[in-house]
Amino acid sequence: MGLQLGDAAPNFTAKTSQGEINFYDYLGDSWGVLFSHPADFTPVCTTELGRTAALKGEFEKRNVKALALSVDDVDSHKSWINDINETQNVNVDFPIIADEDRKIAEMYDMIHPKASATFTVRSLFIIAPDKTIKLMITYPASTGRNFNEVLRVIDSLQLTANYSVATPADWKDGEDVIIVPAVKNEDIPAKFPKGHTEIKPYLRTTPQPNK
C-alpha cells in the first residue's frame, strides 16, 4: 500500500536546480507543496511551473514552500527555467528536483505504469509543518493542475488545523464554515462567539472564525 493521508512525508536529499537540498530542512517550519511533472520542455508543465512562480506571493502569505520534481537532470531544469521565465513572464525561484534515478518518484508513488512506465504523472502533495501528508491529488499528463484549488485547499487545511470546523463544498476563504459534530451545542457560544445557524442538528454553520 502506498502513502496515505496522515503518513509522514518521506524525507530525502536531492540535487535540484538550486543545489542539493534536504527536503525536511528545506521546509523547516513551513507548509510544503511537492509536485511532479512528466518532463522538462513540455507545454503543460511550462504553464504549471510558470503559474507556481506567479503565485509566489500567495504561497508566502500562507507560509508555503513549493518544490517541483521530474526525472530530468539539473542542466535540463536550468535550461528549461529560462524558457518558463521567458514565456510565462515570471521568475522561477523555487527548486526543481532532478530525480534521474526515480527514487523519490517511487517513494511518493509518482510513476503510474499504466499511464507511463518511465515518466512521473502530475502528483501533488500538501505537507504540514509536522511533515505529515495532508492532501494528495493526481492528474493525468494531459491535464494541467488548478492552482486556485491548491490555494483553496491550503486555506481550508490551515483553518481546520486550528479551529473545530470543516469547510463545505466550493468553500472559499472568508465564507461560512461548518462546526464539526464533535462540538456540543452548549459549547458553541464559547468556541464561536460570532454566532451560528443550525440547519440540521448535524449541520451547523458559523462565520469563519479567523476573519
Are residues 168 and 135 located together in one domain of the fold? no
Using 50, 70 and 90 to split pLDDT, how confident is the model at 112? low
> Under the phi-then-psi rule, with left for phi > 0, alpha for psi from -120 to 50, and beta for the rest, what region is 12?
beta
How far is Cα 176 from Cα 41, in angstroms, rounded to an integer?
Answer: 42
pLDDT at 68 over 70: yes
Res 115: pLDDT: 60
Are residues 123 and 26 located together in one domain of the fold? yes
Res 114: pLDDT: 61
Residue 80 lies in a domain: yes
Give me the residue label for grid cell 527536503.
23
Domain termination residue (choose one: 95, 117, 145): 145
Using 50, 70 and 90 to split pLDDT, how confident is the model at 33? very high
Res 35: pLDDT: 95
Question: Would you please indicate which residues are annotated as catalytic (active-site) residues?
Answer: 45
What is the count of structural domains for the chain? 2
Summarised one tens digit per residue, pLDDT across range 128-179 is 999 999 999 998 888 999 999 999 999 999 999 999 999 999 999 999 999 9
pLDDT, the chain, mean: 94
Are residues 185 and 141 located together in one domain of the fold? no
Q: 196 — phi, psi (to 5°)?
A: -150, 165
Are residues 122 and 199 located together in one domain of the fold? no
